[in-house]
Amino acid sequence: MTRVTDQAARQTFWRRWLEARLPAEMSAKISGVVEREGSLVIFAESSAWSARLRYAVLELEPQIREMHPEIAAISVRVLPRS
């Protein structure tokens, strides 16, 4: 149960962190965030928003790595909302 709780806490942390740094229109299109085994995956609700988000995350990457040096990979993928 601790693993699930930790993962939920990390997801909440990253969602809030991204919302504070991205335009509201863009952060509203994030459909999920997963941090696991040195990887941060940010999901966008469509391919169009995924492309926009990918460029925005590139600008934030130095801040992400400074704050969490254990993150070796950052990617943006598509995950439509259900």
Dump pLDDT digits (tens) for 7-66. Answer: 899 999 999 999 999 999 999 999 999 998 999 999 999 999 999 999 999 999 999 999
Strand pairing of 39-44 and 73-78? parallel
Strand pairing of 30-36 and 39-44? antiparallel
pTM (2 d.p.):
0.90
Q: How far apart are the first and last CA of the chain?
A: 25
Based on C-alpha coordinates, what's the Rg of the chain?
Answer: 12
